[in-house]
């Protein structure tokens, strides 16, 4: 750049009452509890840290193989292995509190009551800045139908959680539905402060020699660059349908990818699978976003958000 007066673009954004240094944060389940990536990346640089999904009780997860690479993506069926919300609060929060970065705790339940209970236990934990509620889980009491695929069930469980937490509540939507605008509106009406999307798309891969599924769980969730166009489309549709802020997720590995989501109207984005490929991915994205703003003469990143020309 040859310009003398190098402008320092304003990169911070506000989502669900949280002020973020920049719109970049990790996607749940791809960044552990934050600590795992601290040797490679300064967590203070991030807009927020989003932790692995928490349940009421510790969860063992699925049998192996749990992951499998696909074309420009990967399937995972980890089975939401986690230490349980109490152990998380006791052992993992203290580490994150040393950073000057908001902590968003992702959580889930097998029943409505479990969702409510986890939310309640996190409610008075000081270091928790917001909750992200993963509704892509089977509802054990209702034949295992995924909460997030049934708008009525989604409305009910989000309403219940809303009553049990005073923290900002982000509801994470599943893409595995016919019309995502319906679940998005249900979550908004039930009191979500923001929506994040997309969770993984269900997928399957087969080993043609053994004729077995490549995942022990048979079906898994597809993530990575392969899903980005679908995610951009869904974020675009949800932004049209709701008033609450939207966080875009799906296949982001470079600043240009993040920009697509911001331009269609996401206030912030999450980076998932790309962390595995390059543990420094988010730092690079943040630097390149700033560079993009400089080059394009954009003084405030918010100018870009929702600037899609149709």
Ligand X SMILES: Cc1cc2nc3c(=O)[nH]c(=O)nc-3n(C[C@H](O)[C@H](O)[C@H](O)COP(=O)(O)O)c2cc1C
Supply the residues annotated as catalytic.
137
Q: Does 106 bind ligand X (CB under 6 A)?
A: yes
Question: Which two three-digit tokens encode residue 51?
Answer: 């932790």
H or E element at residue 221: strand 220-223
List the one residue from 13, 24, 48, 78 that touches ligand X (CB under 6 A). Answer: 78
List the one residue from 11, 21, 46, 52 that touches ligand X (CB under 6 A). Answer: 52
List the one residue from 20, 27, 54, 74 that touches another protein (CB under 8 A). Answer: 74
The one of another protein, ligand X, none whose footprint includes residue 36, by CB under 5 to 8 A per kind, is another protein
Strand-pair category, 145-146 with 138-139: antiparallel
How many angstroms separate the Cα of 244 from the Cα of each of 67, 74, 132, 179? Answer: 34, 30, 14, 18
Cis preceding linkage at 198, omega within 30: yes
Site pattern 194..213 for another protein (x: CB under 8 A)? -------------x--x-x-
The one of ligand X, another protein, none whose footprint includes residue 103, by CB under 5 to 8 A per kind, is none
List the one residue from 44, 280, 291, 307 that touches another protein (CB under 8 A). Answer: 280
Site pattern 25..64 for another protein (x: CB under 8 A)? ----xxxx---xx-xx-----------x-------xx-xx
φ/ψ of 82, rounded to 5, equals -160, 165
Interface segment toward ligand X; rule CB under 6 A; list 1-9, 25-33, 92-100, 179-187: 25-33
Site pattern 137..176 for ligand X (x: CB under 6 A)? -----------------------------------x----
Contacts 24+ apart (CB under 8 A), 179-183: 180/234, 180/237, 180/238, 181/237, 181/238, 181/240, 181/241, 182/151, 183/148, 183/149, 183/151, 183/154
Nearest approach in angstroms of CB 106 to ligand X is 5
Task: Round to the nearest angstrom and report the end-to-end CA distance of the chain.
Answer: 31
What burial letters (b/e) apply to 135-160, b meaning 16+ CB within 10 Å?
bbbebeeeeeebbbbbbebbbbbbbb
Question: Which two three-digit tokens encode residue 227?
Answer: 């899903």
Considering the complex, state which of residue 139 and residue 275 has its C-beta at the smaller distance from another protein. Answer: 275
Name which of 189, 203, 266, 252 is nearest 74 in CA terms.
203
The one of another protein, ligand X, none whose footprint includes residue 121, by CB under 5 to 8 A per kind, is none
Cα–Cα distance between 258 and 255 in angstroms, integer? 5
List the one residue from 140, 277, 299, 308 that touches another protein (CB under 8 A). Answer: 277
Residues in the chain: 310
Answer yes or no: are the C-beta atoms of 238 and 196 closer than 8 Å: no
The one of another protein, ligand X, none whose footprint includes residue 107, by CB under 5 to 8 A per kind, is none
Answer yes or no: are the C-beta atoms of 62 and 79 closer than 8 Å: yes
Answer yes or no: are the C-beta atoms of 16 and 37 closer than 8 Å: no
List the one residue from 10, 45, 81, 237 that touches another protein (CB under 8 A). Answer: 81
Answer yes or no: are the C-beta atoms of 157 and 135 closer than 8 Å: yes
Considering the complex, state which of residue 64 and residue 291 has its C-beta at the smaller distance from another protein. Answer: 64
- Residues near ligand X (CB under 6 A): 27-30, 52-53, 76, 78, 80, 106, 134, 172, 199-200, 223-224, 227, 249-252, 271-274
Give the interface with another protein as residue ranges (CB under 8 A): 29-32, 36-37, 39-40, 52, 60-61, 63-69, 71-74, 76, 78, 81, 207, 210, 212, 216, 224-225, 273, 275-280
């Amino acid at each position: 750049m040859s310009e003398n007066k190098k402008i320092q673009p304003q990169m911070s954004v506000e989502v669900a009452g949280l002020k973020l240094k920049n719109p970049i944060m990790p996607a749940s389940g791809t960044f552990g509890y934050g600590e795992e990536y601290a040797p490679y990346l300064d967590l203070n640089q991030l807009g927020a840290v989003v932790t692995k999904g928490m349940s009421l009780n510790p969860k063992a997860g699925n049998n192996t193989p749990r992951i499998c690479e696909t074309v420009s993506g990967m399937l995972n069926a980890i089975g939401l292995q986690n230490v349980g919300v109490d152990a998380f609060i006791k052992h993992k929060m203290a580490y994150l509190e040393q950073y000057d970065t908001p902590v968003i705790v992702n959580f889930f339940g097998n029943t409505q009551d479990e969702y409510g209970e986890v939310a309640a236990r996190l409610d008075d934990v000081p270091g928790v800045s917001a909750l992200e509620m993963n509704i892509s889980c089977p509802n054990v009491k209702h034949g295992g139908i995924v909460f997030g695929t049934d708008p009525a069930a989604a409305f009910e469980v989000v309403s219940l959680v809303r009553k049990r937490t005073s923290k900002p509540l982000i509801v994470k939507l599943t893409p595995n539905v016919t019309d995502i605008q319906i679940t998005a509106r249900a979550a908004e009406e039930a009191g979500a402060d923001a929506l994040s999307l997309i969770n993984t798309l269900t997928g399957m891969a087969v080993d043609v020699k053994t004729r077995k599924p490549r995942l022990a769980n048979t079906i898994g969730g597809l993530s990575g660059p392969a899903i980005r166009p679908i995610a951009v489309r869904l974020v675009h549709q949800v932004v049209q349908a709701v008033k609450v802020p939207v966080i875009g997720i799906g296949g982001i590995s470079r600043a240009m990818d993040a920009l697509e989501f911001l331009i269609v109207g996401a206030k912030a984005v999450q980076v998932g699978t790309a962390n595995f490929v390059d543990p420094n991915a988010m730092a690079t994205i943040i630097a390149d976003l700033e560079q993009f703003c400089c080059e394009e003469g954009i003084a405030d990143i918010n100018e870009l958000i929702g600037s899609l020309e149709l």
